[in-house]
Structure 1
Amino acid sequence: MAPLRDIAAESALALQFLSRLPVGGRTIYSPERWARIPCWFGMVGLVLGLLAAAALWLGAAVLPQPVAVVLTLGLMALVTGGLHEDGLADAVDGMGGGRTPERALEIMRDSHIGSYGVLALVMAVLLQAACLAHMPLAWAMGALVLAHVFSRSVMALALGQGRYLRPRGAGTGLDRPLGPKGLVLTLAAISCAMGVGFMLALPAVAMVLAMVISAGGAGLWLHLTRRKIQGDTGDTLGAAQMISATACLIGLVAWL
């Protein structure tokens, strides 16, 4: 029974970390369980992606699809507490305004948002909305699932490289290799997302193309940030999620 309790606790902690959904409680926390939650990031993305797809389907039943898309993106920002959107804005501010690694990190810690961050956030949301509004409804639903899963899997893989900088921060204690369990869970989540995509008529080649573009966009971003600040922060990883998700949607709409 202990392994089952650990599995339930780790997945609940991962869902708590990446969303505001009311799951679990303080009693499920332990440092060992906390260190393993990146293994579940892909599965959390699957839950969030299915929620987003359901919201879009319901919204499009009574509203024009572009309106339903904007409302769905707004709902998901509320569900996640704007965690990744905040990371994107702070990280781009730091990268754009910090001439030295120290200054870049200082800007990222600042709660205020600058012009670089505003532009990056607006561009990302507009691109996501435009891509989803341009797709057939079934494609858009599948795209949401794939983007949510793959972008959070990218975060988990990046954390597993052990380059987290902050001694105290959102990712503290999470930067350990995923190991066989984490890789299996991540691949399972991606496979499930692709299965949903198949059911919603997304071509396999389009999904593969989207994931390649998604991985490339996130990888380039992490390469640039690591060159500048010599590692990762919660903000740069949150930005990687937003970039990965946006690039995934661009890859899918490019197939139309």
Structure 2
Amino acid sequence: MHGLRFAFGTLSVLRVRVERWDRASARRAMLTAPLVGLLLGALAGALGAAANWRGGPLLAAVLAVAVPAALTRGLHLDGLADVADGLGSGKPAQDALRIMKQSDIGPFGVLTLLLVMLGQIACFAGQFAISTERGALAALTAAVAGRCALGWGCRRSVPAARPGGLGAMVAGTVPLSGALGVSLLSASVLALIGGHARFALALTLGQLAAVALLRRCERRFGGVTGDVLGAMVETASTAALLALALGP
């Protein structure tokens, strides 16, 4: 339960009292993070479904993107923008990390946020246009896929890029078997709920995209940060949505 509180307390706006703040709890939090995604995705899907019934696919798509952003205070979107600025700066690792830590957002971050959110809205609109159920399942898949990526970003073979902060607390806490097991279990649950393997495939492709970003950040920054983990969440979610939009 300490890990579950850690997960909900750090990955959502829900008022959860975190009683333990240590690496053991951090490991459990990263392994149970898909449960946070399950709740956020269910809420986004439900509100999107209601909007689709009365307002149409585009309004439903906007809500499906806005709800997780609001329920996380834009945490992962902020990380995505910071990583885009760091990677786009072309500066040495320490300078890039300093840029990422600044509170403002540069042109690379703004452009990346704009394109990613427009892409997510377009994918959701297409899914809700097919059916309300398909749109709601897409919201669930995207949210769970994003949180599964946290386990891969916190594998024991991935160092922290800098000391201090949430990134250093959770970095290197998750065994490879744990990240793999959570992803396989989440994919199976999504396939069972959705009644089709497309949802499991979408989650899998989302993890591959997130790991590709992680490898780029490892080479560029020397490890993982909280911003990198947030960027992995958004990358996995977006890739899963693209897989659903472009698939059968």
Q: Which amino acid aligns with 1:29?
A: R
Structure 1 gaps, min length 5: 1-7
Paired residues of 1:88 and 1:236 also in contact (CA < 8 A)? yes
Instruction: Verify: 1:227 aligned to 2:226, yes or no.
Output: no
Paired residues of 1:104 and 1:229 also in contact (CA < 8 A)? yes
Corresponding residue SS for 1:36: helix
Instruction: Verify: 1:167 aligned to 2:158, yes or no.
Output: no
Q: Which amino acid aligns with 1:192?
A: V
- Within the candidate set 62, 65, 77, 2:54 is matched to 62
Instruction: Verify: 1:9 aligned to 2:2, yes or no.
Output: yes
Paired residues of 1:46 and 1:148 also in contact (CA < 8 A)? yes
Match in the other structure for 1:196? 193
Corresponding residue SS for 2:170: coil
- Within the candidate set 26, 31, 34, 1:39 is matched to 31
Corresponding residue SS for 2:169: coil
Q: Which amino acid aligns with 1:13?
A: F
Match in the other structure for 1:143? 138
Identity of aligned residues (%): 31
Structure 2 gaps, min length 5: none
| 222-231 or 33-42, larger mean C-alpha shift | 33-42
Corresponding residue SS for 2:235: helix
**Shift, 1:20, TM fit:** 0.3
Match in the other structure for 2:109? 117
- RMSD of aligned C-alpha atoms? 2.0
**Shift, 1:171, TM fit:** 2.1
Match in the other structure for 1:152? 147
**What is the TM-score when the length of structure 2 is the normalising length?**
0.89
**Shift, 1:115, TM fit:** 0.7
Paired residues of 1:146 and 1:194 also in contact (CA < 8 A)? no
Distance 2:4 2:64 in 1: 24
**What is the TM-score when the length of structure 1 is the normalising length?**
0.87
Q: Which amino acid aligns with 1:246?
A: T
**Shift, 1:186, TM fit:** 4.7
| 31-40 or 69-78, larger mean C-alpha shift | 31-40
Paired residues of 2:187 and 2:204 also in contact (CA < 8 A)? no
Instruction: Verify: 1:29 aligned to 2:25, yes or no.
Output: no
Instruction: Verify: 1:177 aligned to 2:174, yes or no.
Output: yes
| 94-103 or 122-131, larger mean C-alpha shift | 94-103
Paired residues of 1:39 and 1:186 also in contact (CA < 8 A)? no
Match in the other structure for 2:92? 100
C-alpha distance 150-70 of structure 1, shift in aligned 2 (>3 A)? same
**Shift, 1:189, TM fit:** 3.2
**Shift, 1:181, TM fit:** 6.2
Distance 1:83 1:102 in 2: 22
C-alpha distance 208-187 of structure 1, shift in aligned 2 (>3 A)? closer
Q: Can you list the C-alpha shifts for 1:153-178, whole angstroms capped at 9, x where unaligned?
A: 11112212332223111222212124
Instruction: Verify: 1:72 aligned to 2:69, yes or no.
Output: no
Q: Which amino acid aligns with 2:103?
A: S
Count of residues paired in the alignment = 242
Match in the other structure for 1:211? 203
**Shift, 1:103, TM fit:** 1.3
C-alpha distance 182-48 of structure 1, shift in aligned 2 (>3 A)? same
Runs of 4+ in 1 over 4 A off after TM superposition: 179-186
